[in-house]
A = this chain, B = another copy of it.
Amino acid sequence: MKTVVWQSLSDNQQESLLQRPAITEGANITAIVSDVIADVRQRGDDALLDLTEKFDNIRPETIKVGPDEVDAAAARLSGKMKQALQQAYDNIATFHKAQEQKTLRVETQPGVVCEQVTRPINSVGLYIPGGSAPLPSTVLMLGVPAQIAGCRQAVLCSPPPIADEILYVAKLCGITDIYNAGGAQAVAAMAYGTESVAKVDKIFGPGNAFVTEAKRQVSNDFRGSAIDMPAGPSEVLVIADTTADPDFIAADLLSQAEHGPDSQVVLVTPEPSIADRVADAIQRQLAELPRADIARQALGSSLLIVADSLTQCISISNHYGPEHLIVQTRNPRKLVPLLDNAGSIFLGDWSPESVGDYASGTNHVLPTYGYTRTYSSLGLADFTKRMTVQELSADGLQQLAPTVVTIAEAEGLDAHKRAVTIRMDKLQARQAALTATKEA
């Protein structure tokens, strides 16, 4: 791990130190994914089965996972596992339920009522990666908000064989449309539909380079599907002062590093001694880790930055914009108003990133790769959309008419003006008729 003293660097060096490595996927992945999508659009289920056999080395008997298989999976799980998943489910549900938006109603001027209402996105597709270890936690992070938002249909795709934990959590989340499909072909199936897989409006979830590229391609096609957010390697940045425990920091950095060789791991501290002690603790703890090889690769590109002050630490973090930001300082709560551009923030000694990854209640699907500047931590809002509603009374329109007419004239949009004046003319005619009737 590289230790650098921030103040010793030039502006350019500082800037390039915090630059993320470019992801060079190559035209290769783009072309492969484009072919996969075309194949699924043309041949549907047949393509899905063939591609699953080709890429995942397994040809499932059925694309859809039946309810019996889901029940069997639940029966195989230990009580302890079910209890853990249930507690995680409960906390995530509590936090996401609190995000529900009430209808907003504002009378901007007398007789002019404007509203903002939310509706669930009708159908959503949840992509759950497979591979060496199953990720039931990702099912929770996508399935719980979809359920609370009230999405009418939730489709889950994961490469076969799908782990028992994933099937169990899917059931907790009320998901019955579960498919043996992974990779770009699963994304294509959800974006365009096949005989078995329903076309969805929006696709969520992490994945490898092929899945990411497939999500990008289908989201660039208006007949395809929207997606949750752009993807990138996972990251953590820790801000720590002398009160922090180097063992805790090392454990947090390592739990990020074990995600993959491209994980980004950064410590920023005003204390040179903390940097040294964390480096030592990492070496000690690394020796005991099963995934030490992966972690070691990630640590190769990681950084221990010694800053001048806590204020400078914060400014470095805000500039970098980490996915996960852990703050282990004397009074971390006090720093929150100063923190910006982070996916999720973990305060104090007792808030390791892994609690947020699994069970505290917050979502672990977060913007990364610098997208924290503009994208949000995944939440209930991503499973809904906001519409506006307006209703004017005749009086309200009459009051607002001169304004609308004047601006429409400035913009040279005569029909816009006439949509107002034709109403005003009729209103005046009606009022005149009423007056005439009264006088008669």
- A: residues with CB less than 8 A from B are 20, 23, 80-81, 83-85, 87-88, 90-91, 94-95, 98-99, 104, 106, 108-109, 112, 114, 116-117, 119, 121-122, 132-137, 165, 201-202, 216, 220, 222, 226, 230, 232, 245, 247-248, 251-252, 254-255, 257-259, 285, 288-291, 295, 332-333, 336, 339-363, 367, 369-377, 379, 381, 385-394, 396-397, 400, 402-404, 406-408, 410-420, 422-423, 426
Contact = CB atoms under 8 A, between A and B. Distances in A.
A85 to B, nearest CB: 7
A420 B360 CA distance: 13
Contact of A251 (B226, B259, B419): B419
Contacts of A397: 350-352, 355
A361 B224 CA distance: 32
A415 B255 contact: yes
Given A84-B407, A375-B226, A420-B355, A414 B350 contact: no
A263 to B, nearest CB: 11
22 contacts: A80-B406, A90-B109, A95-B108, A99-B116, A112-B355, A132-B412, A136-B411, A201-B374, A226-B375, A248-B419, A248-B422, A252-B419, A258-B416, A343-B387, A343-B388, A345-B387, A346-B390, A352-B419, A352-B423, A354-B416, A358-B407, A372-B385
A27 to B, nearest CB: 14
B258 A413 contact: yes
A353 to B, nearest CB: 7
Given A91-B400, A114-B362, 4 more contacts: A84-B407, A91-B112, A222-B369, A251-B419
A360 B400 contact: yes
Contacts of A389: 336, 344-345, 347
Contact of A423 (B258, B350, B400, B411): B350
Contacts of A363: 388
Contacts of A403: 83-84, 87-88, 358-359
Contacts of A135: 411
Given A98-B106, A379-B116, A416-B354, A340 B122 contact: yes
A291 B358 CA distance: 59
Contacts of A201: 373-374
A119 B337 CA distance: 9
Given A351-B392, A359-B400, A413 B95 contact: no
A342 B119 CA distance: 10
Contacts of A394: 349-350
Contacts of A426: 245, 247-248
Given A114-B361, A371-B222, A426-B247, A415 B108 contact: no
A407 B88 contact: yes
A300 to B, nearest CB: 16
Contacts of A202: 374
A388 B108 contact: no
A391 B347 contact: yes
Contact of A295 (B83, B251, B415, B417): B415
A360 B397 CA distance: 9
Given A91-B109, A400-B360, A84 B406 contact: yes
